[in-house]
A and B are shown apart, each in its own frame.
Chain A
Amino acid sequence: MPIEIRNVSYTYSPGTPFEIKALDNIELTIEDNSFVAIIGQTGSGKSTLIQHFNGLIVPTQGVVEVNGISTQDKKDRKKVRSQVGIVFQYPEHQLFEETVFLDIAFGPKNMGYSDEEVKQLVENAMKAVDLDLALLEKSPFDLSGGQMRRVAMAGVLAMSPKMLILDEPTAGLDPITRNKVLNLIKELRDKQSITIVIVTHDMTEVAHFADRVVVLNNGQIVLDGIPKDVFGETKALKSIGLDVPPLTALFTSLVNKGWNVPSVVLTLEEAAKAIKDELGVGKNVD
């Protein structure tokens, strides 16, 4: 179920003194089963772009098609929204029900599933985000921050989307909880074939989890490729205020110092191996 974005531009408050062109001629196809990271500075258009993915915003110009269905037509939007779930920033702020069960069940109930089906969807969603079913009857507001975030994610997952869009899913989480959440997201892709798009500011996260990076600047796509290629563009990234992951910075320095190592390395394991190879460690052990 690909998302096709053809020649899309979006302008906020057109025709007023506050007119802002947030997206400028975007061409983008999100392939099935991919894990895409969207990066870019605050104000580069990331949030505006992802809201086009399920018709929360429709383009001022151009076309967005989800599995061949245009988001332009109001009648079709409900269908699109059942397929593309968006988890917004700090989703735990949007929890509102009395119990974890009721909160997660809200979406599927509104979609008209039977009580039995809703129960099953809620339990499956909780399992998918590694939440203990013992929490079902607890108030979501009594949970820890990491748990609350996962309840909010489960609420979107319970609608069985084919595609999940997450806006900064790890902001404010401690390092271990962050990795846990990212691994859960990756499993949704690997085991349930849910296409994943995340918006993030954390380049290490991108290097470890994404198989494609789309870089936005001033409403335009400036880079688009696999992490290795995109992070190789150190100068281009710095010029628009973004970072490369720390290991990439290290290897760029080493290459500049004459080391014969790749200039972009994404994981610690790759980095250790490249350094050992270059220093001749592990090859001719005494």
Chain B
Amino acid sequence: MAEPIIKCENISYRYESEEQDTLKGISLEVSKGEFIGVIGANGSGKSTLAKMFNALLIPDSGKVYINGLDTTIEENAYPIRQKVGMVFQNPDNQIVATIVEEDVAFGPENLGIESSLIRDIVDKSLLTVGMFDYKMHAPHLLSGGQKQRVAIAGVLAISPEVIILDEATAMLDPEGRREVIETIHKLNNEKHITIIHITHNMSEVVDADRILVMSNGELILDDTPRNIFSLGKKLEEFNLELPQFTSLASMLKEAGLDINNNILTLEEMVEALCQLK
């Protein structure tokens, strides 16, 4: 079997100002090309975990391996950050240049890539996220969804194998969310980039390959969306909720309807209901 792209072995971490561990003995593996959703309450450790994946943070104990590279070894930090790109919550805090294409070129320039190649990399990255027509625009005049797609293009320009989105949709309007979600699915499907998507919006992870549920610094669930959301009300203990259609299905099931309570999407719900009619 191929080596996992991300491997955590019993990692723990405590911030200096904190009295207890933010991460408590987490072990997990992510295979290349997976689409992983990460959910959990505010303060459950999701973002801290994500920062372990590109050596922004180093565990106090335990090991993180990215494509086999140990993050505790300092020389590995650069190659790891080239493999794992991150997109953060606030679109205004991660754009550095005054023209879209310069912003996207920032990464490859810093990697010392020849300028003749950078032109091509930037164009391709912007094309992939559907922002090519905006390459000469000023980033501050773009919508939130467009800014986040530029941020994704900036990450793409360093040809990463993994992209982590740390609540990258939280500040966006519905259309902006849709744009970002479609973009990351496209990168996952067509370029086989591994996606780690952290969100509070359950509907954004119903079609993930796997969901990691964090609670109080522990990884308490690691399973398919269908198995996780069929836990029903138990999820509320972890400050989570069910997708609306899953909630409705369980209510109908309780009322005696012959319906599966692990329905996740609108299409599945319409189909299930029409079979009952």
Beyond A145-B43, A241-B174, is A175–B266 a contact (Cβ under 8 Å)?
no
Beyond A176-B239, A177-B239, is A246–B245 a contact (Cβ under 8 Å)?
yes
Closest to B90 in A: A90
CB-CB contacts of B170-200 with A at 8 A, as 1s and 0s?
Answer: 1111111100000000000000000000001
Is A253 in contact with chain B by the CB < 8 A criterion? yes
Q: Do B276 and A279 touch across chains, with their CB atoms under 8 A apart?
A: yes
Q: Do A144 and B42 touch across chains, with their CB atoms under 8 A apart?
A: yes
Q: Do B244 and A172 touch across chains, with their CB atoms under 8 A apart?
A: no
Question: CB-CB < 8 A to B174: which residues of A?
Answer: 41, 201, 203, 241-243
Please report the total number of A residues contacting B with Cβ < 8 Å: 44
Comparing B51-59, B74-82, B247-255, the segment that makes contact with chain A is: B247-255
Q: How far is the CB of B142 from chain A (nearest CB, A)?
A: 9
Q: Do B277 and A259 touch across chains, with their CB atoms under 8 A apart?
A: yes
Question: CB-CB < 8 A to B17: which residues of A?
Answer: 142
Question: CB-CB < 8 A to B230: which residues of A?
Answer: none
Q: In the complex the two chains form, what is the Cα distance from A179 to B274 in whole Å? A: 32
Beyond A42-B144, A42-B172, A246-B266, is A146–B276 a contact (Cβ under 8 Å)?
no
Q: Do A247 and B252 touch across chains, with their CB atoms under 8 A apart?
A: no
Closest to A246 in B: B244
Q: Do B241 and A175 touch across chains, with their CB atoms under 8 A apart?
A: yes
Q: Which of A145, A168, A171, A281 sits near B256, CB closer than 8 Å?
A: A281
Q: How far is the CB of A22 from chain B (nearest CB, A)?
A: 14
Q: Do B42 and A250 touch across chains, with their CB atoms under 8 A apart?
A: no
Could you tell me which residues of chain A, from 34 to 57, have a CB within 8 Å of some CB in chain B?
40-43
Is B111 in contact with chain A by the CB < 8 A criterion? no
Please report the total number of B residues contacting A with Cβ < 8 Å: 43
CB-CB contacts of A154-173 with B at 8 A, as 1s and 0s?
Answer: 00000000000000100111
Q: Which of B170, B251, B270 sits near A171, CB closer than 8 Å?
A: B170
Q: Do A250 and B167 touch across chains, with their CB atoms under 8 A apart?
A: no
Q: How far is the CB of B247 from chain A (nearest CB, A)?
A: 6
Could you tell me which residues of chain B, from 231 to 277, have a CB within 8 Å of some CB in chain A?
236, 239-241, 243-245, 247-248, 251-252, 255-257, 266, 269-270, 273-274, 276-277
Question: By CB atoms of chain B within 10 A, which of A173, A275, A276 has the most?
Answer: A275
Q: Do A249 and B171 touch across chains, with their CB atoms under 8 A apart?
A: no
Question: By CB atoms of chain A within 10 A, which of B202, B241, B243 has the most?
Answer: B241
Q: Which of A146, A168, A201, A241 sits near B42, CB closer than 8 Å?
A: A146
Q: Do A175 and B175 touch across chains, with their CB atoms under 8 A apart?
A: no
Q: How far is the CB of A206 from chain B (nearest CB, A)?
A: 11
Q: Do B42 and A145 touch across chains, with their CB atoms under 8 A apart?
A: yes
Is B89 in contact with chain A by the CB < 8 A criterion? yes
Q: Do A249 and B266 touch across chains, with their CB atoms under 8 A apart?
A: yes
A-B contact pairs, 17 of them (CB 8 A): A41-B173, A41-B174, A171-B170, A172-B171, A174-B200, A175-B202, A176-B41, A177-B42, A242-B174, A243-B174, A247-B248, A249-B266, A253-B266, A254-B270, A268-B247, A276-B255, A282-B256
